[in-house]
Amino acid sequence: MRSRPPMTCRTAEDCLAVDREVWQQYARTFRDEARSEMEAAVARGDGDTATHWRLFAEVVELDPRDWSPYGLLDREQGDTFGADCSVGCTFYVPLIGDLAADWGVCTNPLSHRAGRLTFEHQACLACVLPNY
């Protein structure tokens, strides 16, 4: 994927304040690129990769509060650098089967991703900041 957000935000509130058209255009571009990645994986017979990109292209709810490049939140900010579902978030429940390595559901009621299918690197600030 080559998508980079048009900007990044330091807080979830800043991400929500981004012009709606800017976010929707970025989300469309991200989904289009995911669809292209899916088609390329299908063409080379890589079913696992095709499924991964299909989830981004057709299933996952994108949110501007997700970490960049999946959303607009700046992943490289100070005390939250690198923190995502893959670093042991107790609220992240991996799927069963082949998708378990990268995909799960967030069960944190304080997270904007609660109840949503989540790629482990999308994440949120709810697991790293106590007052999210």
The structure tokens listed for 91 are 């609220």
Give CA–CA dist 85/49, Å, rounded.
20
Q: pLDDT at position 17, please?
A: 93
Residues of the chain above pLDDT 70, percent? 89
Q: pLDDT at position 1, please?
A: 58
H helices of the chain, in order, are 12-16, 20-43, 47-54
First to last CA, the chain: 29
Summarize the confidence of residues 75-96 as an average pLDDT: 78
Give tens-digit pLDDT for 87-106.
778 889 999 998 888 999 99
Distance, C-alpha 36 to centroid of its chain: 18
Give the chain's mean pLDDT: 87
Widest CA span in the chain: 46
Give tens-digit pLDDT for 27-68.
999 999 999 999 999 999 999 999 999 999 999 999 999 988
